Amino acid sequence: MAIKDRKERDKLDRRKLIIESATKLFLEQGYEKTSIRNIADDIEYSPATIYLYFKEKDEIFYLIHEQGFDLLNKEFTNHNQIKDPYERLAELGKIYLNFALTNPDYYDLMFIMRAPLSEIKCHSKWEAGDNSFQYLLNTVTECLDQKLIVDGDPLIVSMSIWSYVHGLISLFIRERLQSVNIEGEQNPNLLIQSLEYFLKTLKV
């Protein structure tokens, strides 16, 4: 029976190999330019082999998509807990913004791209995403309870904050901020300044 076990391990190893290669290529050249044949070439298997381990291209990229959420959630958990919920909220925003600027490809896959959600979204319920949102929702609720920010429904407020930061990031990543380009001003700085303005308006 040991042989069967080893075989199963081997199979998982090859699955892992595909994911690792796909991740590497994805971070090097993005989703669209990473083809099944690219991955096959990289791991020195035939393209058809990949389909023995994954149903479709999107299934691989859904896993990378989840890796991204693990990374983001780790950043959220790793940061030392700030007592004041408003300060914590501000910090969350900055962590989120920083994550996006440091990992634009992950961010794109997680929050902008259409592809790897097509079918999977239904059965998976997008658990990882829910976790991140829960972090935000909890902090917002605390802020509202302590009357630190403008009153409103916690869900609406959380959605607003998320939308705001996402808006900044996605306009930046997809290069729509050309028109808003102050002479000599670096774009990432503009994003940080905007976030600070938003946090100010939020404060009660």
Partner DNA sequence: CAAATATAATAAACACTGTTCAGTAAATGC
Partner DNA sequence: GCATTTACTGAACAGTGTTTATTATATTTG
> Would you tell me which residues interact with its own copies (CB under 8 A)?
111-114, 117, 121, 125-126, 129-130, 133, 149-150, 152-153, 155-160, 162-168, 170-171, 174-180, 182, 190, 193-194, 197-198, 200-202
2-29 and 57-78 helices, crossing angle to 10°: 80
If the CB atoms of residues 58 and 142 are measured against DNA, the closer one turns out to be: 58
Residue pair 97/195 in contact (Cβ under 8 Å)? The answer is yes
Which does residue 3 touch among DNA, its own copies, none (CB within 5 to 8 A, set by kind)?
DNA
- Which of 30, 42, 51, 138 lies at the binding interface for DNA (CB under 7 A)? 51
Place of tokens 């082999």: 49
DSSP the chain: -HHHHHHHHHHHHHHHHHHHHHHHHHHHHTTTT--HHHHHHHHTS-HHHHHHH-SSHHHHHHHHHHHHHHHHHHHHHHSPPPSSHHHHHHHHHHHHHHHHHH-HHHHIIIII-SGGGTTHHHHHTTHHHHHHHHHHHHHHHHHHHTT-B----HHHHHHHHHHHHHHHHHHHHTT--GGG--TT--HHHHHHHHHHHHHHHHB-
- Minimum Å distance from CB 163 to its own copies? 3
- Please tell me whether residue 21 binds DNA under the rule CB under 7 A: no
Q: Does 46 bind DNA (CB under 7 A)?
A: yes
Question: Out of 12, 20, 29, 52, which residue is the one contacting DNA (CB under 7 A)?
Answer: 52
| Interface region with DNA, contact rule CB under 7 A, candidates 51-59, 64-72, 87-95, 156-164 | 51-59
Of 3, 5, 80, 183, the one binding DNA by CB under 7 A: 3
25, 26, 57, 149: which one binds DNA (CB under 7 A): 57
User: In the complex with DNA, which residue's Cβ is closer, 52 or 180?
Assistant: 52
Q: Which residue, among 26, 90, 1, 5, has the nearest Cα to 36 in the 3D structure?
A: 26
Binder of residue 83, out of its own copies, DNA, none (CB less than 5 to 8 A by kind):
none
Nearer Cβ to its own copies (101/171): 171
Q: Using CB under 7 A as the criterion, which residues of the chain lie in contact with DNA when the complex forms?
A: 3-4, 7, 10-11, 14, 34-38, 44-49, 51-52, 55-58
